[in-house]
Amino acid sequence: MPVPQSVCNFGWKAIDFKLPGTDGNIHSLADLVGRRGTLIVFICNHCPYVKAIIEPLVRDVAELAKQGINTAAICSNDSTGYPEDSFEKMAKFASDYGFCFPYLHDESQGVAVAYGAVCTPDFFGFNKDLELQYRGRYDEGRLQRHPSRSSSELYEAMTQIAQTGSGPQQQVASMGCSIKWK
């Protein structure tokens, strides 16, 4: 069942974390901060909403990196109840889709709780000062890409953040599968 997340709490400061990545490294927020902004994305491997956007999301993230926006994806799902979201399968998912950003495992689910993440995908777009500026959706497509759009709302919002430090005042909440809590 789709679960919407809440609206943007402009200026909310990103909370530090240290999580293992599928690349074999431990990553902290401080390691991931972009010169002009940072995007934290809560995803998982099995969610149809994530699967519908993962290819264009990876392309968007590569383009955002050129603008000084760094990205990290975090999987916080209970992998005991949802074995498709295990750390090993996260590594395969990242490899299969050519992730150009860290894919982190939040086994304790503490980071998801601290951020108030509720669904996959759930987007947290921060400016260079790590102040929240975007908490909207990827685009209006939901389970498939909207054919008439050449770029996503997320991409446009993060580009605006890179250029101005502020996100759009009008945002539509993301919708996806609920985070699978222990």
Structure tokens at 22: 């599928």
Alpha-carbon distance values, 172 to 13, 95, 157, 178 (Å)? 21, 30, 11, 17
Instruction: List the CATH number of the domain containing 56.
Output: 3.40.30.10
5 or 163, higher pLDDT: 163
* pLDDT at 147 exceeding the cut of 70: no
CB 62 within 8 A of CB 22: no
Q: How many domains does the chain have?
A: 1
Residue pLDDT, tens place only, 34-66: 999 999 999 999 999 999 999 999 999 999 999
The rounded mean pLDDT for the chain is: 92
149 or 90, higher pLDDT: 90
Look at the chain and count its residues: 182
Count of beta carbons in the 10 Å neighbourhood of residue 143:
12
> Model confidence at 1, in pLDDT bands (50, 70, 90)?
very low
Across the range 86-96, mean pLDDT stands at 98
Greatest distance between any 2 Cα atoms in the chain: 42
Across the range 138-161, mean pLDDT stands at 79
Across the range 162-167, mean pLDDT stands at 97
Residues 29-68 as b or e (16 or more Cβ within 10 Å = b): beebbbebbbbbbbbbbbbebbebbbebbbebbeebeebe
CA 120 to chain CA mean position, Å: 8
Return all residues near 139 (Cβ < 8 A) that are at least 6 apart: 53, 145, 146, 149, 152, 153, 154
The domain in which residue 123 lies consists of 2-178
- Which pLDDT value is given to residue 166? 97
* pLDDT at 144 exceeding the cut of 70: no
Strand pairing report for 69-75 and 103-105: parallel
Alpha-carbon distance values, 85 to 44, 73, 104, 137 (Å)? 6, 13, 11, 22
Across the range 156-179, mean pLDDT stands at 95
